Structure 1
Amino acid sequence: MKKTVLHTADSRGEANHGWLHSRHTFSFANYYNPERIHFGVLRVLNDDYIAPGMGFGTHPHDNMEIISIPLEGDLEHRDSMGNVAVIRHGDVQVMSAGSGITHSEYNKNEDAPGKFLQIWVFPNKKNVTPRYDQITLDLKERHNRLQQIVSPSPDDDGVWIHQDAWFHLGRFDKGFSLRYDFQKPGNGLYVFVLSGDVTVDGTELHQRDGFGVWDASSIDIVSDSADSEVLLMEVPMQV
């Protein structure tokens, strides 16, 4: 039987350090909720605001697939592999931390904030060689359709990660509806509403709400407002 969980926007954890304002869907840093540790292999979903000219200093990661989706502004990335890059709205960045990596992320702009989603996924392989990649997407390709941004295969659309996971972004007109069919039996799907209002399998969701579905093979999405935007994250449920 289909199972679901609803995480409303105002129920998320919160950290406000002045230069950084972050909302945590799952337990992270000083926010701990034993009922919200992860959704399958989806471990972190942070909604971050970075003040102008500020950012995260160099820090380490290992054995985690880290996906960054900029929503506003320009973020400069530097890492121990020698990569220096700027990611903007429309880009997707992935970093396979694997056996170990250090990196920093800064808001490149001194006069405007940066906003991005930071997502961590447990990998299906440990201690892989660290890897960095980023792509620029055509935003028109997600109008009234789902644009794939993450997959398990380097030959597929979007960036790839060491996990049987598929992410999509979609931006919909009011009244538009679609069905999402799961890519792999046993996976779950976590829906995160970036803007607007949508109904997923009869449950009304609003901006920054999250909704998890598992033990299912498909879901139905209806856009209840103009220019609603959703992020779909299909992930294995077994860690």
Structure 2
Amino acid sequence: MIELRPFDSLGGANHGWLDTKFHFSFADYFEQSRLHWGALRVWNDDHIAAKSGFPPHPHKDMEIITYVREGAISHRDSLGNEGRTEAGDVQVMSAGSGIQHAEFNLEDEDCRLFQIWILPDKDKLGREPSWGAKPFPKDDRSGRWVTLASGRDGDNDALPINADARVLGATIKAGETLDYDLGGRKGYLVPATGKLEIGGQLVNTRDGAALADIDTLSVTALEDSEVVLVETA
């Protein structure tokens, strides 16, 4: 099953400094059919103006993955962690028993990112909060999937999360096809750039594709594309 969610059908809000689109119910946007996809709870497409950002605010028991597409975002939290995550890189915050954080675009250019929230496994609720970031150069993803964040055994090179899920990235050249073994698990895929064909359906830049009951996912790039995929139970 492939449920296409065109970009124009997404919820959203424009606060001036933040122009955002919601793939799932979030804030004042509610859509019963888009509450979650497996353990995937939030996928926000954020455009953050230069010299602005999210002031300190709390979270609890959520795995929050930030995939920076353009510009950079600077993080600070109540654990004393500070870091700057640039385009092509990923940061992960496990909110666990509770954490406060702020995310600011301190740059002279706008920042565009995907903010992805995944529910932790029930037996991993209330763990110590943590934060980490890692560079994942796009060249390393050319023609292959790279696991960016994971709670699955064996994904030792990925940033750890407390969920039975993976966040993957890939760049695919026009005309190439890239397969992924979903094994019947749920998937949610968004092309950050480019245009794809999946199961006969066209997936344009920043559209969402909710995937279920698929053993092998085949993604064909109609244009050079940068793709983000979440696999979850």
Note whether the superposition's TM-score is higher than 0.5.
yes
Could you report, residue by residue, the CA deviation over 1:25-72 in whole angstroms, capped at 9, with x for unpaired residues?
001001111111111111000010111110100000000000001111
Deviation at 1:90, TM superposition (A): 2.0
Name the residue aligned to 1:95.
Answer: 93
Distance across 2 between alignment mates of 1:147 and 1:37: 27
Is 1:121 paired with 2:118?
Answer: yes
Distance across 2 between alignment mates of 1:64 and 1:108: 25
Could you report, residue by residue, the CA deviation over 1:55-99 in whole angstroms, capped at 9, with x for unpaired residues?
100000000000001111121110000001111112110010010
1:139-218 to 2 correspondences below 5 Å: 139-152=138-151, 153=153, 156-182=156-182, 185-218=183-216
Name the residue aligned to 1:59.
Answer: 57
Deviation at 1:186, TM superposition (A): 4.9
Distance across 2 between alignment mates of 1:97 and 1:88: 21
- Tell me the SS of whatever aligns to 1:58: strand
User: Contact 1:151–1:157 (CA<8 Å) still a contact in 2?
Assistant: no
Residues 200/141 of structure 1: CA separation in 2 closer, same or farther (3 Å cut): same
User: Contact 2:145–2:168 (CA<8 Å) still a contact in 1?
Assistant: yes
User: Contact 1:169–1:229 (CA<8 Å) still a contact in 2?
Assistant: yes
Which ranges of 4 or more aligned residues in structure 1 deviate by more than 3 Å?
none
- Tell me the SS of whatever aligns to 1:199: strand
Name the residue aligned to 2:82.
Answer: 84
Residues 181/97 of structure 1: CA separation in 2 closer, same or farther (3 Å cut): same
1:19 to 17, 20, 23: 17
Distance across 2 between alignment mates of 1:36 and 1:59: 25
Could you report, residue by residue, the CA deviation over 1:167-214 in whole angstroms, capped at 9, with x for unpaired residues?
2111111110122112xx552111111111111122111011111111
User: Contact 1:154–1:160 (CA<8 Å) still a contact in 2?
Assistant: no
- Tell me the SS of whatever aligns to 1:119: strand
Residue 32 of structure 1 aligns to which amino acid in structure 2? F
User: Contact 2:69–2:192 (CA<8 Å) still a contact in 1?
Assistant: no
Distance across 1 between alignment mates of 2:147 and 2:205: 21
Residue 173 of structure 1 aligns to which amino acid in structure 2? K
Q: Structure 1 unaligned segments of length 5 or more: list them.
A: none
Q: Structure 2 unaligned segments of length 5 or more: list them.
A: none
- Tell me the SS of whatever aligns to 1:35: helix
Distance across 2 between alignment mates of 1:16 and 1:87: 23
Distance across 2 between alignment mates of 1:154 and 1:57: 36
Deviation at 1:138, TM superposition (A): 2.3
Distance across 1 between alignment mates of 2:154 and 2:146: 16
Distance across 1 between alignment mates of 2:66 and 2:114: 6
Distance across 2 between alignment mates of 1:194 and 1:62: 28
Q: Normalising by structure 1, report the TM-score.
A: 0.93
- Tell me the SS of whatever aligns to 2:34: coil
Residues 186/200 of structure 1: CA separation in 2 closer, same or farther (3 Å cut): closer
Distance across 1 between alignment mates of 2:91 and 2:47: 17
